[in-house]
A and B are shown apart, each in its own frame.
Chain A
């Protein structure tokens, strides 16, 4: 891969692409004869939409070139490993969604039961209070008063059970918060994996930087933390450096 050719090829290609899109007025314009479009390789696009087959072939050919280049550079294995960790990351994310969902459901259900219990206690207390009002208004007979006293006693005794039950629900709600720990550990693992993947790709980018842009990259490095003073221009130490590097390369 000759960096010089690549550079000029890219600029012409991009310009041609832009022009072709700017010239297009309607996306449903009739498609040009397939043979004609293919012959205009490497890049000059006609004003019409490309055939799907043609696009497919070009993507396929680019993918092959990329694959071969990676293999030549010795990256295919490490990129493969990085990419293979993605399904694992997906599974882990599903686990997090499922665990947090379960915790939420459990808490909501417990809250509903607790509120019912709370409402029951409130209703009973209100009913008793009404009776006590009647007593104060001298509206109760002796028998009714004895009944009220009995009911009140019963209520007080039930409170022990009610408060214990409510306490249990509160404990249950508290325990349901353990999802934070379990999902947090998984999140850390995914974050590390994403960082690893990013490192692989940035490393690849650094190693394939064309010579004329390499100086720019090195200058970006020297503005970084002391770790670079040891002369390593091939390592990114943190997110800011990664962003600087990408920006300096025009991304």
Chain B
């Protein structure tokens, strides 16, 4: 898969974090990204738009990351969307829940560019198959 083919939606209630992720994605080679500040707005954008990748935080108002993930997996059109969680939550139970709910990756904040690149790369590699 070519980097320009990836259309990513970045979901986090903190604008600085969205900006950091967006800039990092650009550095890694992915220039096609949009943003949403909570799960509800993200879900609406996903349904309306044409995204093929989601990077999301867990702790957000209105609809948190778990609820967003569940909604994505429950939707006929969206259920195959790869979802990479990037969150300050490092509790084992959260990680287990995320995996059980069908998240494709889990990164704990604070993270490095290398980590993001690696986890993203793993998921993208599976997408081309």
Binding site for B on A (CB under 8 A): 171, 174-175, 177-178, 180-182, 184-185
A181 touches B88 (CB 8 A): yes
A182 touches B88 (CB 8 A): yes
| Interface status of B70 (Cβ within 8 A of chain A) | no
Task: State in angstroms the CA–CA spacing of A182 and B108 once bound together.
Answer: 11
Q: Report A168 CB to chain B, min CB distance, Å.
A: 9
With a CB–CB cut-off of 8 A, which chain A residues contact B110? Answer: 175, 178, 182
Q: Report A46 CB to chain B, min CB distance, Å.
A: 59
B20 touches A177 (CB 8 A): yes
Q: Report B38 CB to chain A, min CB distance, Å.
A: 14
Contact of A181 among B27, B109, B112, B113 (CB under 8 A): B109
With a CB–CB cut-off of 8 A, which chain A residues contact B23? Answer: 171, 174
With a CB–CB cut-off of 8 A, which chain B residues contact A185? Answer: 14, 59, 88
Q: Report A178 CB to chain B, min CB distance, Å.
A: 5
| Interface status of B16 (Cβ within 8 A of chain A) | yes
With a CB–CB cut-off of 8 A, which chain B residues contact A182? Answer: 88, 109-110
With a CB–CB cut-off of 8 A, which chain B residues contact A184? Answer: 14
Task: State in angstroms the CA–CA spacing of A181 and B60 once bound together.
Answer: 12
Task: State in angstroms the CA–CA spacing of A226 and B108 once bound together.
Answer: 43
A178 touches B112 (CB 8 A): no
Contact of B14 among A174, A175, A180 (CB under 8 A): A180
Identity of the chain B residue whose Cβ is nearest the Cβ of A179 in the assembled complex: B110
Q: Report B109 CB to chain A, min CB distance, Å.
A: 6
| Interface status of B41 (Cβ within 8 A of chain A) | no
Besides the contacts A171-B23, A180-B14, A182-B110, what 13 more A-B pairs have beta carbons closer than 8 Å? A171-B24, A175-B110, A175-B112, A175-B113, A177-B16, A178-B20, A178-B109, A180-B17, A181-B16, A181-B88, A182-B88, A182-B109, A185-B88
With a CB–CB cut-off of 8 A, which chain A residues contact B12? Answer: 181
Q: How many residues of B contact A (CB 8 A)?
A: 14
Task: State in angstroms the CA–CA spacing of A1 and B129 once bound together.
Answer: 78
Point out which of A174, A177, A181, A185 has the most chain B C-beta atoms below 10 A from its C-beta.
A181
Task: State in angstroms the CA–CA spacing of A231 and B23 once bound together.
Answer: 53
Task: State in angstroms the CA–CA spacing of A185 and B24 once bound together.
Answer: 22
With a CB–CB cut-off of 8 A, which chain A residues contact B17? Answer: 178, 180-181
Q: Report B53 CB to chain A, min CB distance, Å.
A: 21
Q: Report B76 CB to chain A, min CB distance, Å.
A: 33
In the complex, 7 of the A-B residue pairs with CB atoms within 8 angstroms, ordered by the A residue number, are: A171-B24, A174-B24, A175-B20, A178-B16, A180-B14, A181-B12, A185-B14
Task: State in angstroms the CA–CA spacing of A249 and B20 once bound together.
Answer: 49
With a CB–CB cut-off of 8 A, which chain A residues contact B20? Answer: 174-175, 177-178
Q: Report B63 CB to chain A, min CB distance, Å.
A: 17
Q: Report A189 CB to chain B, min CB distance, Å.
A: 10
Q: Report B95 CB to chain A, min CB distance, Å.
A: 18
Identity of the chain A residue whose Cβ is nearest the Cβ of B110 in the assembled complex: A178
Q: Report A192 CB to chain B, min CB distance, Å.
A: 12
Q: Report B107 CB to chain A, min CB distance, Å.
A: 12
**B1-53: which residues lie under 8 A (CB-CB) from chain A?**
12, 14, 16-17, 20, 23-24, 27
Task: State in angstroms the CA–CA spacing of A185 and B12 once bound together.
Answer: 12
Task: State in angstroms the CA–CA spacing of A171 and B88 once bound together.
Answer: 20
Q: Report A80 CB to chain B, min CB distance, Å.
A: 27
Task: State in angstroms the CA–CA spacing of A173 and B88 once bound together.
Answer: 20
Task: State in angstroms the CA–CA spacing of A164 and B126 once bound together.
Answer: 30
